[in-house]
Structure 1
Amino acid sequence: MTSYVRTNSPAQVRSLSTFGKHLQRSVLTATLLAAASTGSEAQPYVRADGSTTDDLEAARASWRHDAEFNGNVGLAAINADAAYALGSTGEGPELLACPRPS
C-alpha cells in the first residue's frame, strides 16, 4: 500500500514509500556506523592484581597463576579465568553453573 502526502500545491504529491526507503537507509547507515565505531576501541582485560591489559591471554594467565584462584579447583574447571579476565565480578546474573546429572 502506498500512501501519499499532499502539499498546498496540488501538483506536488510525494510518495511516503519513497520517504520510507530513505529513512530506512539512513537508520541502517547510522546503525552500521555505531557498530563499527564501538569495535575500534581497545578492550581492557582485567588481570588478577586489578590492572588492565589489551592482551586477553596475558590476563587469563595472570588469573591461572594467582594463588587464590588456584585454591578453588572449581574455578579452573569452569574456565572462570576467562570470565574474570573479561571483567565479570560475579555480581548479578552474569554466570550460572549448574551440575549435570551423571
Structure 2
Amino acid sequence: MICLADLYETLGRFLKDLGLLSQAVAPLQRSLEIRETALDPDHPRVAQSLHQLAGVYVQWKKFGNAEQLYKQALEISENAYGAEHPRVARELDALATLYQKQNK
C-alpha cells in the first residue's frame, strides 16, 4: 500500500510541476489518505503528504488550505522528530514563505 501512496505522490508532484494544479490535488490527496490508513495518522510520511499537497495550494493561491496543511505537517514533524530537526525547519520555512506571500 505504501508503494501505491508513493506512486500517487509522484504523479501529483509531476502534475504540479507541469502547472496542472487542479489535476495534481487528487493524486496527492489519495497518497495522503493511503498513508493515513496504512500508517499512523501521526507518521512522518503523512506529514510529507501534507507538505506536498500544501505546496499545490500555495501555487494555486489557496493560502487558507495551504496554511492548515502546513500546520498539520509541522505538528506531526515536531512530535516525531523534536523541535530542532531539519524536517521541522522545513515546515517552519514553508509557513514563513506562505505568510510572506500574504504579507502577514
Larger relative strand fraction: 1
- Do they superpose with TM above 0.5? no
Question: What's the TM-score, normalizing by structure 1?
Answer: 0.23
For the pair shown, which has the larger CA radius of gyration, 1 or 2?
Answer: 1
Looking at both structures, which has the greater relative contact order when contacts are Cα pairs under 8 Å and sequence separation is at least 6? 2
